[in-house]
Amino acid sequence: MSKSAHSKEPKTNLVGKTIDNGSLLLRGVLGSGAYGVVYRAIDTRSARGTEYAVKCLDKSKMSKSVAHHMRELTLHASVTDLEGVVGMHRAFESAEHLFIVFDLCLGGDLFAAVTGDNIFWRNDALVKKIMLQLIDAVDACHRREVYHRDIKPENILISKDRTKAWLADFGLATSHCVTEDFGCGSSFYMSPECRGREFNVGPFSSRHSDIWALGIVLINMLTGRNPWRNASSEDDCFAAYLHEPDFFLHMFPISRPANALLRRILALNPLSRMTLRDMRTEVKGMATFFMTDRELRRAHRFAQECARTLNGEHQMRMQPKPAPIPIPIPVPVPAHVHAARSAPSPRMASPRPGSLDPADSEEFYVFSSPNPDSPCAPPRPFTFVRNPPMASRLSTETLESVGPITPEHVPVQGEVDISPMGSAVMGELVLVEDEVCGVPIPEKKQADVSGSFLRQAFQKLMVL
């Protein structure tokens, strides 16, 4: 993939320069974002020429978001030793920039694998392999009370042989199990309760929003498309999904068991969603995620069109296109739906006692008494429409969220693969003498987070 597909040319280009006392040579640009650039770098002191991805943040643009970048460092540091999370090695600064050094993943990101090569189409073994790794990584982060909140293909890096996956970019992550940061994340992957508005239930579960995002990522892998632009009743595709149990079967060439799995992951009530533990069991035991040729011949024309695209009969669209024009399709509306539209907005049903994991007690307290004005289904007519294609990379938004937009980690092909990190658990951020902030990392190496700028930033973070 060309560099232009990932990012625009940065205003300040440091390619060819050395940083960290000459120990890292910046060789090329991997991507850029609102606050800085991600470079590909080589360790000049390494006999093997070890390569890294270096995020370079412009401190002049961070004046109002220092605490958020420090939170990213803190939370990523607390999970960087986990398998399935991209490794973070150290951080340091110059007069103008803050640098963060990460492992370089040479297979690119999941977005390119899904939209470019269709590597998952009718490849059940690979779908399972990558999805199980993602489930395990998210579950491990949750067990350490780190919730990503921006899970999407652009933030999932894969190995050169495309058999391993790692979570990256914790710029919007939080340690709060229950939050009121509405609109935090990327619109295509944002849960209904995170969007708020007509599905506002008050404080919502960060964990269950991550589960929702995993469901959308699974759809991306299976179909190369997004099911809707946003989880709102104003979106015709999402409105149709709420009313029609076989919506995914009409739109995508997936099997009925896969449809049932997705509906359990993408339940409107957060506490009715499948747990990560159950998701892992179901994904591992899935016979096939895809329709057979015989089923495709009988499938809806939208599912057939999607299959033709995945087979390469249509060119995959990497760039965003105008919003689709609704195409009315006669759909019988059940009597209970008519009654629901004319009745007052119902409450979300509470989950059955005993159906929650022990750690869900706080979340159950929040959702047991949701906003009485939150509907379980949109009170308006709907039509089936063409699903939007995979979004462009410029899809992260903050809306009412306090989280920043961070540069993407978009690696390129290379000759050196990622090496596993140690097994030690990283500790808390601490202040040490001589104006240096230390971040313990695996293998007892000290993450150099040097300078008064970082020290003051960490002090601000510790009082939040």
Domain limits, the chain: 3-103+422-462, 110-158+171-397
User: For residue 214, what pLDDT is reported?
Assistant: 98
Q: Give the lowest-confidence range in 66-75, 131-140, 218-227.
A: 66-75
Is the predicted pLDDT of residue 51 greater than 80, yes or no? yes
**What's the predicted TM-score (pTM) here?**
0.72
Indicate the burial class of 379 (C-beta count within 10 angstroms; 0-12, 13-18, 19 or more): middle
Confidence of residue 316 (pLDDT cuts 50, 70, 90): very low
d(CA 184, CA 171): 11
Is the predicted pLDDT of residue 252 greater than 90, yes or no? yes
User: For residue 70, what pLDDT is reported?
Assistant: 86
Is the predicted pLDDT of residue 461 greater than 60, yes or no? no
User: For residue 154, what pLDDT is reported?
Assistant: 94
Longest dimension (CA), the chain: 72
Is the predicted pLDDT of residue 177 greater than 90, yes or no? yes
User: For residue 446, what pLDDT is reported?
Assistant: 35
May I ask the CATH class of domain 110-158+171-397? mainly alpha
Per residue in 77-101, pLDDT (tens digit) is: 999 999 999 999 999 999 899 999 9
71 Cβ contact partners less than 8 Å away, ≥ 6 residues apart: 173, 174, 461, 464
- Mean pLDDT for the stretch of residues 417-423: 26
User: For residue 33, what pLDDT is reported?
Assistant: 76
User: Average model confidence (pLDDT) for the chain?
Assistant: 75
User: For residue 116, what pLDDT is reported?
Assistant: 85
* Percent of the chain surpassing pLDDT 70: 64
Q: Which CATH architecture has domain 3-103+422-462?
A: 2-Layer Sandwich (3.30)
- Mean pLDDT for the stretch of residues 398-406: 32
Confidence of residue 121 (pLDDT cuts 50, 70, 90): very high
